[in-house]
Structure 1
Amino acid sequence: MKKVNIGGVPEHFNLAWYLTLKNGEYKEKDINLRWHDYPGGTGAMCKALRNKDIDIAVILTEGIIKDIIDGNPSRIVQTFVQTPLVWGIHVAKNSSYKTISDLKGTKAAISRFGSGSHLMAFINAENNNWNLNEDLNFEVIKDLEGAVEGLTDGTADYFLWEKFTTKPLVDDGTFRRIGNCPSPWPCFVIAVREDFINSNKEDLETILNIINNTTADFKDIPSIDKTIANRYKQKLDDVQEWLSITEWSQSLIDKETVLTTQKELFALNIIPEIVDYNKLTYKL
């Protein structure tokens, strides 16, 4: 049986992977797919791909594009979630900051440099016409737990993270959400190490076929809203709202989207150049 390691964030977006693993669908095809949670997000997964700790990552579009340009020997083989990610902009419950404009020049908590929380802090700054050199400061907090600690003790002032994941922390009064910042592109893609693509193409196609069959009908799974609410400790109406605005994909990210994403990252000095579509993607 072929062992394959895959990584992703332990969030509701990835429930389809959990369900297909629980059902033993990969083992039926002689693939031992092992899931690894990365609460640290995209930066941690980029490192894991480079280190060959994982073969496949379900990862933020902007983060993996940046890291491939920076030398990560991986390619995007498919879009996983087509719709943008809605990032909540959070402050500590007792923070004096009330609006996004209050955050200008303060310190953003980020999981790590090159992560989604880091890149989206730039997008938020650009959206609000801040000076990207003077009005952005960062404090590395590793993950959501680190953000709770950092915002509560004042090490950092605000934190961008997927708004439904952080909603329980808003509900219990740990955070206040003072705004949203949707990503200007599809949020999650599936990226695979080049050497794995070259030597395991059939297994990769099998894995994608299995997950795509599940995501194509994900919203029709009986009581899927209740399953998500229970597993991720979220309110049912929040889950239903999230399901209503989220669309999965079963196809490769298109040229135009990749170019748009790169132009945005280049304008923000996050990537040094815009590269050819075929250097970032691989069509199976």
Structure 2
Amino acid sequence: RRSPVPHSLRPPLISSLLVAEQPKNKMSTQQKLRIAFVPEHFASPLLQLAAKDESIELVPCPSGTGQIMSAIKANEVDVAIALTESLIAGIAKKTADFKLVGTYVTSPLNWAVIVGKDSKHQSLGDLRGEKIGISRIGSGSQVMASYMALREGWTDKDGNVEPIQFEVLDTFKNLRDGVNDGRAAAFMWEHFTTKPYLNEVRFIGNVPTPWHSWVVVATPSTTAPSSPLRSILESFLSNLTTSIRSFDAADARASSSKEFIKGHFGYPEEDVKAWLEQVSYPKGEVCEVDRAMVEKTLTTLEAAGVLKAPAEGWNLEDFVDTSVAKLQ
């Protein structure tokens, strides 16, 4: 579901950071923790950490959480930072084998609802029964479209969310093209990432997530006590906490963090300031997972028709690896 950084803004800026994380001689024979992430502004504390931590290797997934789950399933990554709703749905549906080990962003994600530049649609109500573009099956763009339908009351007489017709368009560019050439009536994407493309598309509404927007997951082969990656994972979560605190400090938000985002993602200062006013990172440790947040996500995704609870109900330990994370 998630957007790539515009190509013209990406090289060599992000690539220079990824080069910086490559192994030095002393690390060349040591296994590294492979971390899938979406190369967007939310990733700033992770990018800053990767520039100086030789034990991790970042794996960019510009198409978003659907692409990340495919990478996990293919054993291309050990850890991922991605969207809460899609990862929790992925665990419930057994899309790939992983569990939550931490929290990365605690504020909601502001999903914009986007139509073509000359579209007839002017409000969210106009989209009822229309085809919705998504990046991949199981992506945040699909899950959040179902939540939008629930929130907007697009339900039958029994209160069930009406079936939505989805059009899989893969990339952010294809989604933008798709709402202009008629393949889809609308799609959903993060607000600030889409804003540079308002010469191509239009916003007609916003749907914030009712849960923490980004979490950290790891595979069983990474969290196993006998895994050589287990200690690297624990160090990574601790180091990420430190990086977040540095990025999130009030003086950094007003200076170095703001300049980092402007320099590496090319966003105008007014957008960076607006986003920094909205975003919240964990105040405690990254390895803490909020029990109520997981429960609310599951309950809401059930109501939206994304998930169906087993007869015995959900077991939170199926979703959170409590040998690594602190479920609170």
Q: TM-score, normalised by structure 2?
A: 0.81
In the TM superposition, what whole-angstrom CA distance separates every residue of 1:244-277 from its partner, at most 9, and x where no partner exists? 1111122422211111110111122212224211
8 Å contact kept, 1:104–1:135: no
Give the equivalent residue in structure 2 for 1:95.
Answer: 119
CA distance in 2: counterparts of 1:255 and 1:20, whole angstroms: 27
Q: Does 1:177 align with 2:216?
A: no
In the TM superposition, what whole-angstrom CA distance separates every residue of 1:158-188 from its partner, at most 9, and x where no partner exists? 1111101111112xx1111111100110000
Matches within 5 A, 1:1-284: 1-22=30-51, 24=52, 26-27=53-54, 31=55, 33-71=56-94, 72-131=96-155, 134=162, 136-170=164-198, 173-198=199-224, 199=227, 200-220=229-249, 221=252, 222-249=255-282, 250-273=286-309, 274-283=313-322, 284=324
**Structure 1 segments unaligned to the other structure (5+ residues):** none
In the TM superposition, what whole-angstrom CA distance separates every residue of 1:220-260 from its partner, at most 9, and x where no partner exists? 43432132123222221111111111111224222111111
CA distance in 1: counterparts of 2:110 and 2:206, whole angstroms: 7
One-letter amino acid of the counterpart of residue 79, structure 1:
T
8 Å contact kept, 2:192–2:271: yes
8 Å contact kept, 1:111–1:141: yes
8 Å contact kept, 1:219–1:243: no
CA distance in 2: counterparts of 1:122 and 1:270, whole angstroms: 7
8 Å contact kept, 1:93–1:175: yes
**Residue 219 of structure 1: how far off its partner (Å):** 3.2
Q: TM-score, normalised by structure 1?
A: 0.93
CA distance in 2: counterparts of 1:14 and 1:159, whole angstroms: 23
Q: How many pairs align?
A: 276
Structure number with higher strand proportion: 1
Structure 1 window deviating more from structure 2 (197-206 vs 123-132): it is 123-132
In the TM superposition, what whole-angstrom CA distance separates every residue of 1:182-229 from its partner, at most 9, and x where no partner exists? 011000000000111111221111111111101112134343213212
CA distance in 1: counterparts of 2:91 and 2:163, whole angstroms: 28
8 Å contact kept, 1:6–1:56: yes
In the TM superposition, what whole-angstrom CA distance separates every residue of 1:19-67 from its partner, at most 9, and x where no partner exists? 1122x2x22xxx2x11111111111111111211100110111111111
Structure 1 window deviating more from structure 2 (103-112 vs 246-255): it is 246-255
3-state SS of paired residue (1:217): helix
3-state SS of paired residue (1:216): helix
8 Å contact kept, 1:167–1:234: no
Structure 1 window deviating more from structure 2 (224-233 vs 83-92): it is 224-233
8 Å contact kept, 1:77–1:190: yes
3-state SS of paired residue (2:289): coil
8 Å contact kept, 2:149–2:161: no
**Residue 136 of structure 1: how far off its partner (Å):** 2.2
**Structure 2 segments unaligned to the other structure (5+ residues):** 1-29
When the two chains are superposed, the root-mean-square deviation of aligned CA atoms in Å is 1.5
One-letter amino acid of the counterpart of residue 89, structure 1:
V
CA distance in 2: counterparts of 1:112 and 1:133, whole angstroms: 20
**Residue 134 of structure 1: how far off its partner (Å):** 4.3
CA distance in 1: counterparts of 2:307 and 2:151, whole angstroms: 18
Sequence identity of aligned pairs in percent? 30
One-letter amino acid of the counterpart of residue 268, structure 1:
A
